[in-house]
Structure 1
Amino acid sequence: MNSRPLYWFPLAIIAVLAGLSAWLQFAVNTTQPGVLGSGLHIADYMIERFMVSRTNLAGQVIYTLHADRAEHYLDDDTTQLTKPHLVANDDQQGSADIRSTRALVTAQGKQVNFIGHVVLVRDARDAQGPMTLTTEYLEAIPDQRIMRTDRPVLVQGKSIKMTAGGLELNNQTQILQLTHRVKARYEPI
């Protein structure tokens, strides 16, 4: 009786596993087009009815971001949102409510770029009434509570109507800076 095939069988299995491991390592590390791991901008996961909140150390909600759909992309760690809605709360400084057609959230959620029919309603509880801002693009930096755009913008309040080529709104300091081609109409209360 020949026992050599009994020795070769485990060695063959080990050789096949080693070959598969080498191929898998090559497939993951390669950057050639058409090969696994090619760096294509493909969503790695999608979420329907997405919602995320940020709280302070006391557990109070600072802001909440909702969207009908969220698609995360692993290659640049960005997330694309469909019909986003950001609500930033601050008991002392007021609130901001932003809606748009879509948005892009940068890596680690540091910035949210609202794109397409952006409507921001600032502090609807204020004694002077709400301020509504309408534009086509708006950058929001939630942790710093700053919103800005370099696109034409319409700002309307209870007794004021302004247009500008861009703006920056700091929700902490409540300072609104309008840039180039500013036109304003103010009616005393």
Structure 2
Amino acid sequence: MNSRGHSLFPIIVLLLLAGVSVWLDRVTQQEETVRADKSQHEPDFTADKLTLRRFDLTGKTQYILVADRMVHFGDDESTELTRPRLDYLNRPEPVRMESDFATVSKDGETVVLNDNVYLRRAAQPGKPESTLRTERMTVWPDDEKMRSDAPVTLTQGKTVVTADRMESDNIVGNIRLQGQVRGTLYRNTPTPKP
């Protein structure tokens, strides 16, 4: 009887090894299936009250990005921002951009602002405050460039201009309006000389 138990021992061990092998194979296949399923666009992390500061080569703050909420998605490395505000501080006149919602590209170089996009350039001596309103705008923060394929309304003091599309380079100071461009232009009143 004892020899019969010894002869069954290798068979029992082989059956256990086969069972464990089948189990491991099934478990690893299920994990690969879950990892390969990128159709689920679910956040992998979120943050509330986000503040991001970008510095130029001299160490001065170039811009500050603030958002009420940030949601990052691991499947496509995209980021969504709720109520983002972007303040450029390295200009003679500070500039603020804000919207209700924004998406940030994988590399962080492109920001698409959506819904109630508003830009405000502070007034300077001899130059009144400037604003821009649109529903959608693409911004390249590091290059300080913007483009909107949606209608825009620009104001500077009492001057009001509307256009179907716009491109802007903040560093150079160029704005290019396209499509149906209409406006009422007012001259700045020169400062009287004493």
Smaller-chain TM-score range? 0.7 to 0.9
Question: Counterpart in 1 of 2:30?
Answer: 27
Question: Counterpart in 1 of 2:63?
Answer: 63
1-structure distance, mates of 2:151, 2:50: 30
| Deviation by residue 1:21-41 (Cα, 9 ceiling, x = unmatched) | x445433433xxxx4541011
Q: Counterpart of 1:26 in structure 2: which amino acid?
A: Q
Q: Counterpart of 2:105 in structure 1: which amino acid?
A: T
Q: Counterpart of 1:126 in structure 2: which amino acid?
A: Q
- Identity %, equivalent residues: 28
If the length of structure 2 is used for normalisation, what is the TM-score? 0.81
Question: Counterpart in 1 of 2:192?
Answer: none
Distance 1:28 1:150, change over 3 A: same
Deviation at 1:58, TM superposition (A): 2.5
1-structure distance, mates of 2:44, 2:86: 24
2-structure distance, mates of 1:16, 1:115: 53
**SS at 1:109's partner residue?**
coil
Gaps of 5+ in 2: 190-194
Of structures 1 and 2, the larger Rg is shown by 2
If the length of structure 1 is used for normalisation, what is the TM-score? 0.83
Do the aligned partners of 2:148 and 2:167 also contact (CA within 8 Å) in 1? yes
1-structure distance, mates of 2:51, 2:26: 39
**In the alignment, is residue 164 of structure 1 matched against residue 163 of structure 2?**
yes
Gaps of 5+ in 1: none
2-structure distance, mates of 1:153, 1:131: 13
Q: How does 1:97-176 map to 2 (within 5 A)?
A: 97-122=96-121, 124-127=122-125, 128-176=127-175
Deviation at 1:159, TM superposition (A): 3.7
**In the alignment, is residue 184 of structure 1 matched against residue 187 of structure 2?**
no
2-structure distance, mates of 1:79, 1:150: 22
| Deviation by residue 1:80-125 (Cα, 9 ceiling, x = unmatched) | 1111111122235x43211111001111211111100110112x04
Deviation at 1:57, TM superposition (A): 2.7
2-structure distance, mates of 1:177, 1:80: 28
Q: Counterpart of 1:72 in structure 2: which amino acid?
A: H
2-structure distance, mates of 1:42, 1:116: 23
Deviation at 1:179, TM superposition (A): 0.7
Q: How does 1:74-85 map to 2 (within 5 A)?
A: 74-85=74-85
Deviation at 1:172, TM superposition (A): 0.2
